[in-house]
Chain A
Amino acid sequence: MSKKQRKNPLSLKLDRRNFLKGSALGLAASALPLENADASFIEAFFQKHFREMNKKEIQEVLNRLEKEYSEQYKKHVTVKATKAMPGVQFGYGLDLSRCIGCRRCVYACIGENNQSRDPQIPWIQVLSFRKGDKWTDLEEADKYYNPATVPEPEHWYMPVQCQQCRHPACTRACPTQATWKEPDGIVVVDYNWCIGCRYCMAACPYGARHFNWGEPHIPDDELNPVTHYLGNRPRYKGVVEKCTFCIQRTREGRYPACVEICPVGARKFGNLLDPSSEIRYCIENKRVFRLKEELNTQPKFYYFYAT
C-alpha cells in the first residue's frame, strides 16, 4: 500500500490504563511502540473527550486532522466543528406516496458524506415492498431489488436511515461515550473515541449504524473536502458511522444532500421548533407515523402519505 494509512489512535496495542500508570512512573516514552510514535499520533492518543475540550483544544485537533487528511487525499481538506444553532431541533419527513425507489439519495449521501466506496457501507437503505404485503418486518424487506426501471408496478418503497431518536438506544449502549445526542437533536459519533465494540449497532432498532470492517476507501478526486468533525470527515477502519442529517450542511442552514437530490421531492427537512417550517406543516397536516413507535425511541424521522 503506497498511501500512508491514518490509523484510529485507539487501535494502538496498548491500553490507556496501563499506559497512564506507566507514565506516572516516568516510563511514558518507552511504553509507546516506537514505529508509531510520531508527534501527531501521540497527540491523538492523548486527545480528550470531544465534549470536554475547550475551544483552543478543539482547534488544535481540527488543525491536526486537516493536515492528515490533506496529505492523504492530496488536496485541501477542511474540518469544522460548527456548533448547534440555538432554538433548533431538526426533524425529517419522508413522503411514501412519492418515493419511487430510485436510490438517488443513497448515492448522493455516499458522495456528500465520504462513505467508503469499497467496501460500501451506505447510510440509507431503500426497502421495497409489494402492495398489500405485511411490511412492518423491516429486517425481511428486500433492499437488493434491481429491475430495469422503478417504480415497479404494485410496489412501494421505504428509505430507512438513522431516525435521530429523542431517546436513542445506541448512545446508552456505548461504553466509552463515543456517541451522543447534540443539542439540535443530531446523534453523532466521535470516530476518535469509538473503540469498535459495536454495542450501539446491536442496540439500534433501525439497523442505522454501520461498521468499517475494512479500511475505508475513497478515490482522492471523489473526496468531499468540506467536512465536520462529528460528521463526514474520513473515518478509520474499526469505527462505527451513521447518518448525521448532513451536520456539515444543515448547521450552516443548508438542506441535507438527500433532500436536494430526490427527483420526486419526497424528502422534507426543517426545524421542529419553528411553527412555519416544512416539517411542522407535514406533522400538522398529514398523517405521519414513525417506525417501531412501540419501542419509545421517539424518532425525529416522520413518514407520511401526502396524497
Chain B
Amino acid sequence: MDSEAALAQSPQVQEHKIPKYITPPPPFSEGIFPCSDCHKDLKPNPKRRKLELMHTDIHLKHAGGEQWCLDCHDLNNRDKLHLINGKLIDFEEVYYLCGQCHGTIFRDWKAGVHGKRTGEWNGKKVYRLCTNCHNPHQPHFKPLKPKRPPERPSDIK
C-alpha cells in the first residue's frame, strides 16, 4: 500500500507504530506560532483563570466548560501539547491528544472514515487534522448557508 511508503517516523510515531498521516499544517492564526516567541519572557502561571490580556478572542466551549488551556497546552514548553500521561506532542499530531477522550472517533479517523479524505482511494490520501475542521476551542461546526435548491419542474422554461 502506498500510505506505508509515506511512513515518516517521528519518535511518537515509532512508539505507537502508527503511520504518520499526510495532513495539511495546523491552522495557526497568523504570527502566533511559535508560541515561545512571546511566552519565553513570561513567567508560567498555572492558575486556572479567565485570560484578560491576551487570547481574548478564544472562547472555550468544549466539554461543557470543564476544559481549560493547560489541559492540552503545556505549561513549560509552549510549542507543544501534552497528553494525559505527560508526554509532549507536536501540533501536527494533535490527533493523539483528541483521541484520548474521543477514542471511537480516533479509531474511525485512522481507518479513513471519520472526517474528510482527499486524494486517491487506492493510494496516497490526504487526511485532515482534527483541528483542520474543528476549532479545538469550540469544536461544534458553525451552521452554513446551503447552496441553491434545485429548480422545480414547473419553473423550467
Contacts and interface: CB of A to CB of B under 8 A. Distances in A.
A269 B144 CA distance: 24
B116 A106 contact: no
A306 B118 CA distance: 19
A125 to B, nearest CB: 7
A162 interface: no
Nearest to A152: B143
Given A265-B115, A281-B111, A281-B113, A253 B141 contact: no
Given A119-B156, A253-B122, A255-B119, A125 B112 contact: no
Task: Report the contact-size class of chain B (Cβ under 8 Å from the partner).
Answer: 20 to 34
B74 to A, nearest CB: 29
A270 interface: yes
A245 to B, nearest CB: 10
Task: Report the contact-size class of chain A (Cβ under 8 Å from the partner).
Answer: 35 or more
A271 B122 CA distance: 8
A160 to B, nearest CB: 12
Contacts of A122: 150
B16 interface: no
Interface in B110-145: 111-123, 128, 133, 141, 143-145
B148 interface: yes
Contacts of B112: 268, 278, 281
25 contacts: A102-B144, A102-B145, A103-B146, A106-B147, A106-B150, A119-B157, A120-B151, A143-B149, A143-B150, A146-B148, A149-B144, A149-B145, A254-B121, A255-B118, A259-B117, A260-B118, A263-B133, A265-B117, A268-B117, A271-B121, A271-B122, A278-B117, A281-B111, A281-B113, A282-B113
Interface of B: 1, 105, 108, 111-123, 128, 133, 141, 143-152, 156-157
